[in-house]
Structure 1
Amino acid sequence: MADATWSAFQGTLTSLTARDWIVALISAWLAFKVLQALYNVSPLHPLSKIPGPKLAAATYLPEFYYDVILVGRYTHAIKQMHEKYGPIVRINPNELHCADMSFSDEIYAVGGRKRDKPFHQVNGSAAGTGNAFGTPDHDLHRARRAPVAKFFSRAMIARLEQEVHDLAQTLCNKLLAENKDEKDRKPFEIAHAYSCFTSDAISSYCFGKAFGLLSRNQWQPNYREATLAVLKPVFFFRFFPILVSSVKLGKYLVDYLPADTALLIRTLQIDIPSRVQKTKNDLDSGIVYDRPTIFADLLQSELDESEKKQDRLVEEAVTIVNAGTETTSWALAVITYFLLSQPETLAKLQDELKQVVDDPCHLPSWTTLEHLPYLGAVINEGLRLSYGVSSRTARVPTTEDLVYRGEFNKKPTTLVLPRGYAIGMSAAIAHHDESVFPDSYTFVPERWIDEDNKIRKDLERSMIAFSKGSRGCLGKNLALCELYLSLAALVLRVMPYMRLYETTERDIRYDHDMFIPMTESGSKGVRLSNTLNCYRIYNIFIIYINPLTAAFIIRWQSYPDAPPPYSSLAATASEPAFSDASQPRILHIPTLQQSTHLPSEKPIAIPATSSKLGSPFLRAFPPILEDEYHLPREAFLRFLDDLNRAAVASPPVQILGMVGGIVSMIPLHTAQIVGNSVNAAATLSTYAMSKSRSELCISTANKELFMPRGLKAEFAKLDAVARYAKIPILDGNGRIEKNSMVLGPWEDASAQSSLTVQQRRLQALGPWIAPLELTPLPELHVPDNFVSKMHASTSERQRKKEEKKMSKDRAKAHEDWTEDSRKAREDYEKEMRKIEEEFAKVQRKHADEPRKLERELQKLDREREKCEKEYEKEMRKVYKDRLKDDKEEEGVRKVLWLLIRPIGNEPME
């Protein structure tokens, strides 16, 4: 019997095809992942008592979505978790995050206790684990760090400080010579200049000879853009570490890469290895260096021979050079922006520096400059707002459980954090703790200054720009030396002749992570223009007339005001919440006659049919394309149809989503978890494929259709459309005002009941965008593909159903608002009548007692003011409830738009 069973089993195995094996393996993997997720959220997991979202506790999918799909935005999600769950949250199955800086000394083991690095974090580093920075084990890290650490001690940096001073002066000389001929003058990004300075400083320090980027004629090529390009896959590598080795292929492609990238790859993978090898050969030949260098000392240290292999030393060199370049240069760029946009801060710093600096070409020592309180405050504030490393830096306590005692929502919180699990912090969150740094997004050096320096010490304990503990930033002292010397020289020699060029705070404001902080897409960085020659002309001309006038004009020219905020919000942002006590604040959408645009100036904006992933765009044709840009209707609609096809999920993903939906309907808890997980995977796959295919489609169309006609097509959210079209619905930060009504009030429901949701959207924005002619949306024909046809049909039915429901909700919201407003008004008027009656009664009763009458009348005045405030509060509540119930208003804010505009037509700031 047993033989027969075994034979049958063997027969089954041999009959399986390769496809069957693949399906079986995938099914087994999915089953394992589901069971693993169930364990992660079960009471059996050691982190089960730590608060946080269940999906993040079950799987790495949320982190993957925010960091890989949305690119480096998990920090924003973590901040929201803290607001909801408290100061300690569970952000993935095996990692915690802390937002309480008072607990940082425990996390980072200040005092020498053991802390490992989590492999999940180390995997994101393309430099590998052969260097001290990427070493997970505490003891091995300490052994690798010790020989290098002494080179970054204050004593060693003081010996080599003159090299930093010389490079700072070279930087200033080159900046002052930048475009000195007025006819050739053009703006440039200052971060490129600072990247050259920091690259030369760290390379000089490591190898005894700088890379020589400051000695080139131009700022580019340099390492900045290339470093940012290399950092793009950092989160992808975190989830797929096997692909890290692909970075090493760069040296074989160096002749085919852009100049910046080729320079970086050549430096990291060819020049640095050759320098390390040269150092080794020199030592073997008995050559003695005239100054100490890191790698000569490493090769002569007591490290094991395995730690002195060329590959490991190259990894160490690459890590030190990368870490010492962009973090410091970005801090300088951020400080430069704030100093030039806040003239009073720059003037105050110049006054302090002039007290100790006789000749800005020969600066005092770093130690002397460190004692200047305002200079130190400016640098600390710049480090706070540039973050250093913006990604979370986690540690693993291996020998002890940590106990957190804090407070959340005014209630005491105690949590035991088990050993063996990572816990970290993020500078992008910690540096904006309003309880420590009030008005945290504002550059305020004064917050660091007091007489006995106590405030500065307290605030420094709340900073992690250089991390903390035994694994803190190795090059902290060198970075501070560079900042103090270069900033002193720049403030006195260069900044009086520089001004910001088309740069606003959003060009330095943190938007997402790529290990280092990144600004929003489309930012051109901190751009400056050199006005040195202009100042000399004004100076010579005006001094002969009036020296006082000359000083005033030069000062005014040197420190221009920061660019104004979004002008479209200047009027609306300061308006009171209610213009009349009986009416809520409703943003008025002007009529077509009120728009300041000429028809040809209006951008083309076509909305998606819904806010869901993969939704097609409305099939509409803007006549302006044919009339003014000679783009045929057929060609544009063909592009639009191709774009809509690109957004649709592929049949296998559609099937996966359908299967997930069916499984999730089974009335079993496990089945629902499996179904929802499969659905989530299908949704993520749909988004990723839709995004990549759509971007490819629009890129091709730009090259073939739009750019030859001076146009550019791009995807945009409503706030971006509003900036280009100058629609007055933005707040001072360029975001859509929460209390504005994009669609306008539903004043005549019967007149608009025949319009579709898309038509109402276009009607609301009609005064600011080019007119559109709607054409029917065709079916997405896929030959002999029943699944895709069914998917398209189902999606269209679902869309129409949702739109019908949104229309009903909008009508009901308007009815509720009308009724609630009426009731609130009646109650208000009733109370006011009572007060008026009381006024008359008091006047009659105390007509002969003036003082008593005055007291009583004042009392009634206070009651009336109280009644008015309560009425206004109630009307605000009614209005907010109405907005909350209006799903159509909510939907228009989330929908994606296809924006077509003339090239060079940037939004007004």
Structure 2
Amino acid sequence: MDATKTFNSAEFVTPLSISRSLLSTSISTLLFFALSFAVLYFVAHAVYQSFFSPLAALPGPWYSAISDFWLTTHVVRFQQCRIVQALFDKYGPVVRVGPNKVAFCNATTMRSVYCVHKFDKSSYYKSLLTNNNDHAMTTLPHAEHAVRRKAYSSHYIPSNLALFQTDLQDLCLKLVDTLGRTFGSTPVDCLDLFRHLMVDIIGTTVFGRLPGSLDNWAKNIQDPLATAVYDFPKRGVMRSAVPTWAWNLVCLIPNNRLRQVCDSDRIMAQFVAGRLYEMRTNLQAGPVGGGTDTEKLPLLQRMLLHRVFATNECMPDKDIISEGMGHLVAGVDTSSTTLSYLLWELSRRADIAKRLQAELDEAMPDRAVIPDAVALTKLPYLNAFIKEGLRLYGAAPSLLERVVSSTSPSGLDDSFDLMGYAVPPGTIVSTQAWSMHRDASVFPSPETFLPERWLAVDGVDGEDERLAMMNQHMVPFGVGSRLCGGHALAQLVMRMVIAVVARNLNITADVTQTNERSMEMRDAFVLFPAAKECKLIFNARKN
């Protein structure tokens, strides 16, 4: 009886239960081995990167040598420039910032990397694709970029920009008139205002059409194009920080603000494509000039007429659209940010504002007549003021990544000498304007806004050498053949805007709204203030 009870108990083991037990054991064993392998791989990787990698001898924190994760955490917090600067302060002018990444801060090495060897860009720039297609900024090989650059380089030479001078002056005067409606009342978010101004300027010079963005701002109407340009750099940072499948999931999140960021590329593409097809129709309907130097042609029309030298074929539409979008992004938020910081300095530095206004009062006896481009370049304090703004508040302060290629024709020793360290091909090397512009040995009191540093002192020996050294370290628009194509337009616009605003208006700020904390710099490849706004108060100057 007892034996029967034992035989029929729940403890009886069936073949099915044995199978389940074995399966469970197999899964547990597989998970254990997989986890063990992952741990061993990570440890082996860390040991190799720390002690046996060709970059092991470079200074830097141990955690940056084994993973890019540490630097990525600062990228997504928009603080990469500051953390890289902190590494330079601690470890010196060359530092390992990732398993395969080295940052440096040295003018001679900068010229070697970007001007002499002309290393290709890294894959990071692919996160800045427009319309899912390359443009000049995202074209990685140097040789291919040189071909693309020919399509737009002639547009930005000073003699051609002079043809648009009246249009630019009219927009700058319109800006002052728009600000006149706010006198002494509501603070103006200059970051937003200048973004709308720059959309109109780029619209006029690049696309041959005034989008009316500044008018929309004056009427308090949201301008979708200005918003898209503002969102695009953040889209690029987010896109570069996560894999493609994760980015696709992010774009599905039902959040209106996030969707605006994700859709910024599409909105700009629709504008540029629409203008392209309209311009082509107009060109086909009537006679058109041949694009000589004396004709005032918007860049889009130049690209329509441009023929690639190697094939004698026109540029594909997708390349024209992407290039146009690239110039829209590069030209708008960069200039609007630097201009906002410049006006903020005027609002809190009465000594600088007084000296600048004195120079402009003499150069602009009629406050409604802006001097021409050549005359503006001859105003010493205006140009010193803008140059100091580009030093501290240049809108592209981030790492400019390049990939080391073989430097030896024989291939026997193809490492690149980076300040005494042998760096093998495939290594990503970079410098950043943020650090080049804050080298205390070149710029004493580097965090102080001091336009006078750019003015030669009469009777003092070594002034020419001092100014030359500072200029060698100035790279607000990049360096070498990948220099920003529109830098001449950007500087022309800055001179005009600062001249007409400072000549006509006094600027103040409510320090409870706009202060050191709200204007603390963040970087998403391009610069922006922590508060994402720059609220200032404008009042008319008395005669």
TM-score range, shorter chain: 0.7 to 0.9
What's the counterpart of residue 161 of structure 2? 157
Secondary structure, counterpart of 1:79 in structure 2: helix
Deviation at 1:124, TM superposition (A): 3.5
Aligned partner of 1:231 in structure 2 is: 233
Shift in CA distance, 172/509, structure 1 to aligned 2, threshold 3 Å: same
1:288 aligns with 288
1:221 is matched with which residue? 222
Q: CA deviation at 1:190?
A: 1.5
Select the residue among 464, 478, 481 that pairs with 2:475.
464
* 1:390 Cα offset (Å): 2.5
Aligned partner of 2:395 in structure 1 is 388
Distance 1:449 1:346 in 2: 16
The one-letter code sitting in structure 1 at the alignment partner of 2:205 is Y
Instruction: Say yes or no: does 1:445 pair with 2:451.
Output: yes
Answer yes or no: is the 8 Å Cα contact 2:396–2:527 preserved in 1.
yes
CA shift, 1:420, in A, is 3.2
Contact 1:129 1:135 in 2 (8 A): no
- Provide the secondary structure at the position in 1 that maps to 2:417: strand
Aligned positions of 1:328-407 closer than 5 A: 328-400=335-407, 401-405=415-419
The structure-2 alpha-carbon separation of the partners of 1:210 and 1:327, relative to structure 1 and needing over 3 Å to count, comes to same
**1:643-663 deviations in Å (ceiling 9; x for gaps):** xxxxxxxxxxxxxxxxxxxxx
Map 1:514-533 onto structure 2 (within 5 A).
514-520=524-530, 523=531, 525-532=533-540
- Residue aligning to 2:181: 177
Query: Bigger radius of gyration, 1 or 2?
Result: 1
Q: Is residue 189 of structure 1 aligned with residue 199 of structure 2?
A: no
TM-score, with structure 2 as normaliser: 0.82
Other-structure match for 1:40: 49
Q: Retained in 1: the 8 A contact 2:396–2:476?
A: yes
How far apart, in 1, do the equivalents of 2:533 and 2:478 lie?
A: 26
Give a deviation string over 1:777-833, Cα, whole Å, max 9, x none.
xxxxxxxxxxxxxxxxxxxxxxxxxxxxxxxxxxxxxxxxxxxxxxxxxxxxxxxxx
2:519–2:529 Cα contact (<8 Å) kept: yes
- Residues 104 and 219 (structure 1), Cα distance of their counterparts in 2 relative to 1, 3 Å cut: farther
Q: Does 1:51 align with 2:65?
A: no
Q: Deviations over 1:261-302 (max 9, x none)?
A: 699567403222211232334444455377312222223322
TM-superposed CA distance for 1:489, in Å, is 0.6
Q: Could you tell me how far apart the structure 1 residues matched to 2:226 and 2:444 are? A: 32
Equivalent residue letter for 1:232 = K
Give 1:450 deviation, angstroms. Answer: 0.5
Residue aligned with 2:485, SS: coil
Counterpart of 1:89 in structure 2 is 95
- Structure 1 residues 526 and 38 mapped into 2: Cα distance closer, same or farther (>3 Å)? same
Q: In structure 2, what is the equivalent of residue 646 of structure 1? A: none
Aligned mate of 1:77, from 72, 83, 86: 83
In structure 2, what residue type is equivalent to 1:206? Answer: V
Any idea what SS the aligned residue of 2:441 has?
A: coil
Once the 2 structures are TM-superposed, how far is the Cα of residue 65 of structure 1 from its aligned partner? 2.4
> 1 or 2 for the larger relative contact order (CA 8 Å, sep ≥6)?
2
Alignment-mate amino acid for residue 331 of structure 1: T
Q: Which amino acid aligns with 2:402?
A: R
1:399 to 1:129, Cα distance in 2 relative to 1, 3 A: farther
Query: Judging changes above 3 Å, is the alpha-carbon distance between structure 1 residues 244 and 170 closer, same or farther for their aligned structure 2 residues?
Result: farther
Aligned equivalents of 2:226 and 2:518: distance in 1? 16
Q: Which runs of 5+ in 1 are unaligned?
A: 1-10, 406-413, 540-550, 552-909
Q: Tell me: CA distance 1:55–1:305, structure 2 relative to 1, closer, same or farther (3 Å).
A: farther
Cα distance in structure 1, aligned partners of 2:404 and 2:40: 32
**Contact 2:380/2:455, CA 8 A, preserved across alignment:** yes
In the alignment of these two chains, the number of paired residues is 499
Distance 1:22 1:152, change over 3 A: farther
Deviations 1:302-353 (A, max 9, x none): 2269983333322212111011011111111111111121112111111112
1:851-885 Cα deviation digits (max 9, x unpaired): xxxxxxxxxxxxxxxxxxxxxxxxxxxxxxxxxxx
Deviates more, 1:156-165 or 1:75-84: 75-84
Deviation at 1:245, TM superposition (A): 7.4
Structure 1 residues 420, 257: closer, same or farther in 2, change over 3 A?
closer
CA contact (8 A) 1:114 1:398 kept: no
Q: Distance in 1 between matches of 2:307 and 2:57?
A: 46
After superposition, residues 612-623 of structure 1 pair within 5 angstroms as none
Letter in 2 for 1:235: V
Structure 2 CA distance for partners of 1:163 and 1:36, relative to 1, 3 Å? farther
Residue identity in the other structure for 1:403: D
Structure-2 separation of matches of 1:34 and 1:129: 39
Shift in Å at residue 424 of structure 1? 1.0
In structure 2, how many angstroms separate the alpha carbons of the residues matched to 1:101 and 1:284? Answer: 50
Counterpart of 2:213 in 1: which secondary structure?
Answer: coil
Q: Is the CA contact (8 Å cut-off) linking 1:129 and 1:136 kept in structure 2? A: no
Deviation at 1:194, TM superposition (A): 1.1
Query: Structure 1 pair 96/258, CA: closer, same or farther in 2 (3 Å)?
Result: closer
Which AA in structure 1 matches 2:417?
V
Alignment of 1:127-166 (within 5 A): 127=130, 128=132, 130-166=134-170
**CA distance in 2 between partners of 1:126 and 1:20 (Å):** 45
Q: CA separation in 2, counterparts of 1:423 and 1:475?
A: 25
- Aligned 8 A contact 1:402 1:417 in 2: yes
Q: Distance in 2 between matches of 1:103 and 1:447?
A: 25
Q: Which amino acid aligns with 2:219?
A: Q
Match of 2:72 among 64, 82, 85: 64
Is contact 2:187-2:536 (8 Å) kept? yes
Q: What is the rounded CA distance, in whole Å, between the counterparts of 1:484 and 1:420 in structure 2? A: 41
TM-superposition CA deviations, 1:198-236 (whole Å, max 9, x none): 111112111111221112333652466654544335334
Write out per-residue CA displacement over residues 684-714 of structure 1, whole angstroms, 9 at most, x where no aligned residue: xxxxxxxxxxxxxxxxxxxxxxxxxxxxxxx
Instruction: Give the whole-Å Cα distance in 2 for the aligned partners of 1:259 and 1:361.
Output: 42
What is the letter of the counterpart of residue 49 of structure 2? N
The runs of 5 or more residues in structure 2 that have no matched partner are 1-18, 290-294, 408-414
1:436 aligns with 2:442: yes
Name the counterpart of 1:612.
none
Check whether the contact 1:208–1:291 (CA below 8 A) recurs between aligned residues.
Answer: no
5 Å-filtered alignment, 1:459-858, equals 459-493=470-504, 495-496=505-506, 498-502=507-511, 503-510=514-521, 512-520=522-530, 523=531, 525-532=533-540
Q: 1:21 to 1:518 in 2, by over 3 A?
A: farther
Aligned to 1:209: 209
> Which position in structure 2 is the counterpart of 1:760?
none
Following TM superposition, by how much is the alpha carbon of 1:126 offset from its aligned partner in structure 2, in angstroms?
Answer: 4.9
- Name the aligned partner's letter for residue 218 of structure 1: K
Q: Contact (CA 8 Å) 1:221, 1:263: kept in 2 or not? A: no
Post-superposition offset of 1:35: 4.2
- Would you say the 8 A contact 1:118–1:395 is kept in 2? yes
Once the 2 structures are TM-superposed, how far is the Cα of residue 481 of structure 1 from its aligned partner? Answer: 0.6
Once the two structures are superposed, the pairs formed by residues 302-317 of structure 1 within 5 Å of their partners are 302-303=307-308, 308-317=315-324
Quote the Cα distance in structure 2 between the aligned partners of 1:504 and 1:421: 40
Residue identity in the other structure for 2:520:
R
Secondary structure at the residue paired with 1:232? helix
| Identity across the alignment (%) | 22
- Measured in 1, the distance between the counterparts of 2:152 and 2:140 equals 17
Q: 1:320 to 1:480 in 2, by over 3 A?
A: same
* Structure-2 separation of matches of 1:368 and 1:247: 53
Contact 2:134–2:322 at 8 Å: present in 1 too?
A: yes
SS in 2 for 1:525: coil
Amino acid in the other structure paired with 2:222: P
CA distance in 1, matches of 2:102, 2:260: 38
* 2:11 paired residue number: none
**Matches for 1:105-116 after TM superposition, within 5 Å:** 105-109=111-115, 113-116=117-120
Paired letter, 2:63: L
1:263-282 equivalences under 5 Å are 267-282=267-282
